[in-house]
């Protein structure tokens, strides 16, 4: 056999991926590059020649989990490269685990690869182009996260993401569309568009016009959504900051070009607290905009997140938030008790809210929202809804409607009498028979 076609045993890499969907996308890029260069990915510490740990550094619990994961990888394997948000937080990784081989920040595929090359130089393998063209993904085959930018130009006082990930850097729109096209061709049925700030897409490149398949496309959220709609699959937008031009995408939702789903973190409703958070908008404007959106697209699902117990939040501020919930009738809502994050500006603010008050406010908030969500979901009973199937059982399908993003929203449980060759990723119509505050039940 000619030596150039002799297959050598490839180096084996273990991979631990922690953190948010944006970190998952970073992991996918590193895994894709590893496979492209002929490394094998193995599921156990003992089979690996080296382990990469992609960490999260957002809140204290995530830092602890990441540090524990690094410690475990060191104990079980010994050769560990750390990447991700925790890697960008000064010396914390090296101080806690001085034996790690290398530490990089997030979004650092090239740096991680060069550290791997240093400890495990790639072996020649003529079969390396067997990597699937859509890359290696960590999500199930029928949906995929599509990261459109990195970093953020805002400076919300409770957040350290800009100091971890830097200012906004948008991916070229043609790259994003080529990736979406490959994913669709590989069988993905739902794209989850993610970034730190989806509506700012293209600000850093002055909305530059690029070319995709010979057609000009602006690096801008509205134009990106238009272009993504050509693939004929579900497109769901996450982390949309409430800029005025968000109004432009609502007609695309009404026309069925992208899912009528808006994940838009409002964070609070009191003008005083929003100002202290350095967030835009006041609640009256926001209510007006929500009403306009619903007029244009009555089926829109609005998901949002809020923070209770931000420094300086009085009972009156909090009641404004509860009143806003009553008025806005949002569909999907999360609420977090404020907690100091190392390095965040909000730590310097006076008026810390005692822990038990924060927890009590979160509980009151969630109780109010549970009632709103239950009432809103109840309106689905008797209606036909389209769902994407996530799981197929003998007597039941589990899926999600356009109102439900994976992992964070509810599910639709569909009773079936025969299996009818349903496949994960199929989009089918079901009749809703029952609901609670999160989930729906249906028949086929
Ligand atoms: S917009 Fe989001 S990522 Fe940017 S600073 Fe504010 S909270 Fe952080």
Q: From CA 287, how far away is CA 437, in angstroms rounded?
A: 22
Q: From CA 51, how far away is CA 63, in angstroms rounded?
A: 18
The SS3 assignment for 189 reads: coil
Residue 110 has pLDDT above 90, yes or no: no
Cα–ligand 1 centroid distance for 371 (angstroms): 29
Instruction: Give pLDDT tens digits for 265-305.
Output: 999 999 999 999 998 766 668 999 999 999 999 999 999 99
Identify the residue whose C-alpha is closest to ligand 1 atom 6. 156
Q: From CA 350, how far away is CA 303, in angstroms rounded?
A: 30
Q: Which of 333, 431, 404 is nearest to 373 (CA)?
A: 333
Contact 36, 10 (CB under 8 A): no
Ligand 1 nearest-atom number relative to CA 267: 7
Report the length, in residues, of the chain: 444
The SS3 assignment for 33 reads: helix
Give whole-number Cα distances, 190 to 237, 252, 333, 444, in Å.
11, 16, 22, 21
Q: What is the pLDDT of residue 131?
A: 52
Assigned token pair, 99 = 């034996």
Q: Determine whether the shortest distance from the Cβ of 156 to ligand 1 is under 6 A.
A: yes
Angle at 58 between CA 98 and CA 281, to 5 degrees: 155
Identify the residue whose C-alpha is closest to ligand 1 atom 3. 196
Q: From CA 364, how far away is CA 94, in angstroms rounded?
A: 41
Cα–ligand 1 centroid distance for 238 (angstroms): 13
For 96, other C-beta atoms within 10 Å of its C-beta total 15
* Ligand 1 mutation pick, 88, 107, 149, 161, max ligand atoms within 8 A of CB: 161
Cα–ligand 1 centroid distance for 152 (angstroms): 6
The SS3 assignment for 95 reads: helix
Residue 57 has pLDDT above 90, yes or no: no
Contact 222, 253 (CB under 8 A): no
Q: Determine which helix (DSSP H) or strand (DSSP E) holds 63, and give its type and residue range.
A: helix 60-76
Residue 261 has pLDDT above 50, yes or no: yes
Ligand 1 nearest-atom number relative to CA 196: 3
Q: What is the pLDDT of residue 122?
A: 64
Q: From CA 355, how far away is CA 360, in angstroms rounded?
A: 9
The sign one gets for the Cα dihedral 139, 113, 84, 167 is negative
Q: From CA 82, how far away is CA 79, in angstroms rounded?
A: 10
The sign one gets for the Cα dihedral 362, 367, 369, 374 is positive
Please enumerate in sequence order all residues whose Cβ is within 8 A of that of 355, keeping only pairs 6 or more positions apart, or say none. 337
Please enumerate in sequence order all residues whose Cβ is within 8 A of that of 185, keeping only pairs 6 or more positions apart, or say none. 133, 134
Q: What is the pLDDT of residue 123?
A: 60
Instruction: Give pLDDT tens digits for 7-35.
Output: 457 889 999 999 888 888 889 888 888 87
Outline where 157-215 has alpha helix (H): 161-165, 173-185
Give whole-number Cα distances, 164 to 36, 63, 145, 322, 337, in Å.
28, 13, 21, 32, 22
Q: Determine whether the shortest distance from the Cβ of 161 to ligand 1 is under 6 A.
A: yes
Contact 333, 304 (CB under 8 A): yes
Cα–ligand 1 centroid distance for 111 (angstroms): 25
Contact 190, 142 (CB under 8 A): yes
What average pLDDT does this structure show over 323-349?
93
Q: From CA 4, how far away is CA 182, in angstroms rounded?
A: 30
Identify the residue whose C-alpha is closest to ligand 1 atom 2. 196
Assigned token pair, 331 = 């569909």
Q: What is the helix, strand, coil percentage profile of the chain, to 5? A: 40, 20, 40
Q: Determine whether the shortest distance from the Cβ of 274 to ligand 1 is under 6 A.
A: no
* Ligand 1 mutation pick, 56, 196, 203, 266, max ligand atoms within 8 A of CB: 196
What average pLDDT does this structure show over 346-374?
95
pTM of the model: 0.76
What average pLDDT does this structure show over 149-159?
92
The SS3 assignment for 183 reads: helix
Q: Determine whether the shortest distance from the Cβ of 240 to ligand 1 is under 6 A.
A: no
Q: Determine whether the shortest distance from the Cβ of 162 to ligand 1 is under 6 A.
A: yes
What average pLDDT does this structure show over 116-144?
68
Q: Determine whether the shortest distance from the Cβ of 317 to ligand 1 is under 6 A.
A: no
| Number of alpha carbons in the 13 Å side-chain half-sphere of residue 53 | 30
Would you give the DSSP letter of residue 233? S
What average pLDDT does this structure show over 211-235?
96
Ligand 1 nearest-atom number relative to CA 162: 5
What average pLDDT does this structure show over 224-245?
94
Q: From CA 187, how far away is CA 246, in angstroms rounded?
A: 29
Q: What is the pLDDT of residue 13?
A: 93
* Ligand 1 mutation pick, 197, 263, 307, max ligand atoms within 8 A of CB: 197
| Number of alpha carbons in the 13 Å side-chain half-sphere of residue 330 | 30
Residue 44 has pLDDT above 70, yes or no: yes
Cα–ligand 1 centroid distance for 199 (angstroms): 12
């Amino acid at each position: 056999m000619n030596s150039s076609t002799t297959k050598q045993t490839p180096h084996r890499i273990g991979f631990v991926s922690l953190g948010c969907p944006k970190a998952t996308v970073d992991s996918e890029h590193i895994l894709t590059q590893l496979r492209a260069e002929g490394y094998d990915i193995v599921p156990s510490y003992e089979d690996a020649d080296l382990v990469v740990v992609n960490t999260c550094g957002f809140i204290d619990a995530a830092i602890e989990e990441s540090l524990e994961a690094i410690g475990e990888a060191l104990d079980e394997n010994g050769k560990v490269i750390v990447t991700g948000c925790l890697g960008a937080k000064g010396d914390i990784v090296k101080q806690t685990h001085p034996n790690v081989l290398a530490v990089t920040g997030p979004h650092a595929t090239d740096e991680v690869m060069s550290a791997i090359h240093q400890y495990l130089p790639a072996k020649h393998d003529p079969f390396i182009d067997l990597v699937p063209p859509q890359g290696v993904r960590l999500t199930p085959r029928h949906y995929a996260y599509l990261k459109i930018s990195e970093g953020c130009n805002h400076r919300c006082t409770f957040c350290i993401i800009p100091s971890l990930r830097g200012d906004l850097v948008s991916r070229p729109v043609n790259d994003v569309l080529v990736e979406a096209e490959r994913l669709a061709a590989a069988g993905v049925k739902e794209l989850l568009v993610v970034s730190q700030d989806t509506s700012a897409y293209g600000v850093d490149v002055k909305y530059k016009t690029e070319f995709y398949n010979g057609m000009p496309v602006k690096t801008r959220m509205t134009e990106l959504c238009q272009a993504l709609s050509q693939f004929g699959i579900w497109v769901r937008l996450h982390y949309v900051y409430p800029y005025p031009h968000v109004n432009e995408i609502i007609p695309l939702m009404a026309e069925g070009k992208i899912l009528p789903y808006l994940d838009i973190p409002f964070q609070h409703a009191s003008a005083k607290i929003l100002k202290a958070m350095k967030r835009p908008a006041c609640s009256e404007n926001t209510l007006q905009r929500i009403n306009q959106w619903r007029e244009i697209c009555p089926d829109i699902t609005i998901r949002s997140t809020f923070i209770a117990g931000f420094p300086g939040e009085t009972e009156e501020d909090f009641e404004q938030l509860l009143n806003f919930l009553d008025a806005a009738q949002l569909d999907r809502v999360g609420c977090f008790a404020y907690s100091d994050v190392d390095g965040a500006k909000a730590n310097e603010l006076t008026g810390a809210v005692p822990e038990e008050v924060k927890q009590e406010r979160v509980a009151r908030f969630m109780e109010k929202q549970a009632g709103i969500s239950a009432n809103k979901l109840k309106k689905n009973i008797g209606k036909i809804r389209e769902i994407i199937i996530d799981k197929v059982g003998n007597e039941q399908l589990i899926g999600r409607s356009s109102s439900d993003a994976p992992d964070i929203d509810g599910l639709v449980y569909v009773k079936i009498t025969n299996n009818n060759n349903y496949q994960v990723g199929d989009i089918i119509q079901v009749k809703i028979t029952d609901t609670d505050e999160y989930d729906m039940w249906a028949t086929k």
